[in-house]
Amino acid sequence: MKIMILGHGAIGSVLAKLLHKEDSVKSVISADMCFKEEKKFGKMCHIHINLENRSQFRAVLEKHMPDLIINAAAPRFNSDILKECAKLEINYMDMAACWEPDPDKTALSPYKIEQFDFDMQFREKNVLGLIESGVSPGMTNLFVRECTDEFDEIEDVKIRLIDYSGTDEFHVAWSKESLLDEISSKPLVYKDGKFKIVEPFSGEEDYKFPAPYGKKKVSLICQDEIGTIPFFIKLKNLDIKDYDDQVDIHKFLYELGLVSKEKITIKNIEISPFEFVNKVLPDISFNNEDPKFSEAQFAFAVEASGKIKGKKGTIRYFVLFPKQKEINKLGLNANFISYPTALSAKMFAMAIPRIKTKGIIPPEALDREVRKFILSELDRTKHVIVKKEILK
């Protein structure tokens, strides 16, 4: 398989290294603005690309004609890349949607998953677009399907994330803009079969995670999973909450209006607080080697409740990814968020030859055999713990 990764940032660079190690991957082309010229290292190749320049992008694709393109750059490029992939009949994968409000007021979900606009084209061209395929969204979606397949009828699905950095001091795991966007975005919940936009950081509750975390305060966050799952799995309620030891500072920025996109006037100048704060915030990059981050870890729980053969039951999966200190030993220059994301993306990418479905699909639409392959890959990854519990 010849894979082109667009974007050589925090996730793209780690994903490239992970794919490079795979025997079935013949070549990995990493394309990014940061590469001045084309360079080859064994089966790895670095090329310059400017995703803003459509004709240059098309020329690069035509020259390399990969079997799969993975967008590890900003989601705002999804549509342009999808367009080219459909035209050139190349399989596509990404890790997030733009998650913009849907201009169609009759749409079921107030947020749009823009990749679905290309579903018909992809089907007609007999190519696959596997979207939202990182860790969250991505692996979480897959586990929701794993849980719900065991039920005859689904009532509630809860996705609970752990973003434990080991410090309440402010830091930026990869991009300031993405972080501010995440803080400012209003979460979506699916309640009684309907989508509802709620306030950020609302719905606070104590959630009891399996050991070693135990009871933690979680609150609603804006995540893509909710934009696809209700369209592929019949359920009544779905929400996504997060435990984050940086929540106080994120909440603080939100409550003070510092991440608002509504313009204010200072000295007759119209200012978007969001844009200004993006310039003010220090570039506190996450230093993987800093001992204060050694315990940093990402994990998630997916809990589904419903009826099995007329009886009520709850099933929970808990997936724990390696701690920062364990990730450091892998020599990937990855952090506790970029590694699980890149690792999950790698597993989805490796599964693509096995996927028979065509068109645009999220991970919860993968069939049992493909999921089994991904889960077995996850299971045999060092320091990744997958735990299944029957709660009731």
Partner 1 sequence: MAFDFIVLGATGMQGRIVVRDLLETGYSVLLCGRDKPRVSHFLNAYKKRTGFKFIEATKITTIINAIKFSKSNVVINCMEGDWNYEVFKACAMLGVNCIDLGSEIPVTRKQFSLNNIMKKKNIVGITGIGSVPGIGNIMLRYASEKFDTIENIHLGFAWDSNMKEFVVPFSIESVLEEFTDRAPIVEDRHFKYKIPLSNVIKEHHRYIGTEKELLVRHPEQYTFLHYFSRKGLKNIKFYAGFPEHSFKMILSLIKLGFASKKEINYFGAKIKPMNFLTQMLKNLGAPEGYTEKENLWVHIIGTKNGKRRDTMMECLVPPLRGWESAGCNIDTGFPASVLAQMVKKGAITERGCFSPEMGVPPSIFFRELKKKKMRVFENGKVIKL
Half-sphere exposure of residue 45, counting CA atoms within 13 Å on the CB side? 16
Looking up tokens 């039920």 gives 151
Residue 187 is given by DSSP the state: P
Stretch that binds partner 1, among 71-79, 95-103, 275-283, 346-354 (CB under 8 A): 275-283
Q: Is there binding between residue 389 and partner 1 (CB under 8 A)?
A: no
Q: Is there binding between residue 262 and partner 1 (CB under 8 A)?
A: no
CA 182-342-202 angle, to 5 degrees, is 25
**Smallest separation, CB 354 to partner 1 (Å):** 46
Q: Using CB under 8 A as the criterion, what x/- string covers residues 158-177 for binding partner 1? A: -----------xx-------
**DSSP state string for 265-289:** EETTEEE-HHHHHHHHS---B--TT
Q: Which of 205, 252, 379, 387 binds partner 1 (CB under 8 A)?
A: 252
Q: Which of 300, 317, 299 is nearest to 149 (CA)?
A: 317
Number of residues in contact with partner 1 under rule CB under 8 A: 22
Characterize the bridge pairing of strands 269-271 and 100-101: unpaired
Q: Is there binding between residue 266 and partner 1 (CB under 8 A)?
A: yes
H-helix or E-strand containing 190?
strand 188-191
Number of CB atoms found within 10 A of residue 312's CB = 12
Question: Of 89 and 248, which CB lies nearer to partner 1 in the complex structure?
Answer: 248
Question: Of 29 and 173, which CB lies nearer to partner 1 in the complex structure?
Answer: 173
Stretch that binds partner 1, among 36-44, 87-95, 280-288, 305-313 (CB under 8 A): 280-288
Contact between 254 and 183 under an 8 Å Cβ cutoff? The reply is yes
Q: Is there binding between residue 249 and partner 1 (CB under 8 A)?
A: yes
Quick one: three-class SS letters along 315-370?
Answer: EEEEEECCCHHHHHCCCCCCCCCHHHHHHHHHHHHHHHHHCCCCEEECHHHCCHHH
Q: Which of 98, 276, 325, 333 binds partner 1 (CB under 8 A)?
A: 276
Q: Is there binding between residue 107 and partner 1 (CB under 8 A)?
A: no
Q: Is there binding between residue 204 and partner 1 (CB under 8 A)?
A: no
Characterize the bridge pairing of strands 68-71 and 39-41: unpaired
Question: Of 211 and 266, which CB lies nearer to partner 1 in the complex structure?
Answer: 266
Q: Which of 33, 271, 390, 391 binds partner 1 (CB under 8 A)?
A: 271
Q: Which of 197, 258, 330, 386 binds partner 1 (CB under 8 A)?
A: 258
Q: Using CB under 8 A as the criterion, what x/- string covers residues 282-311 for binding partner 1? A: x-----------------------------
Q: Which of 100, 199, 205, 275 binds partner 1 (CB under 8 A)?
A: 275
Stretch that binds partner 1, among 61-69, 115-123, 269-277, 380-388 (CB under 8 A): 269-277
Q: Is there binding between residue 264 and partner 1 (CB under 8 A)?
A: yes
SS3 at position 106:
coil
Stretch that binds partner 1, among 273-281, 349-357, 367-375, 378-386 (CB under 8 A): 273-281
CA 156-161-162 angle, to 5 degrees, is 150
Question: Which amino acid is residue 306, in one-letter code?
Answer: G
* Residues found near partner 1 in the complex (CB under 8 A): 169-170, 248-249, 252-253, 255-258, 264, 266-267, 269, 271, 273, 275-276, 279-282
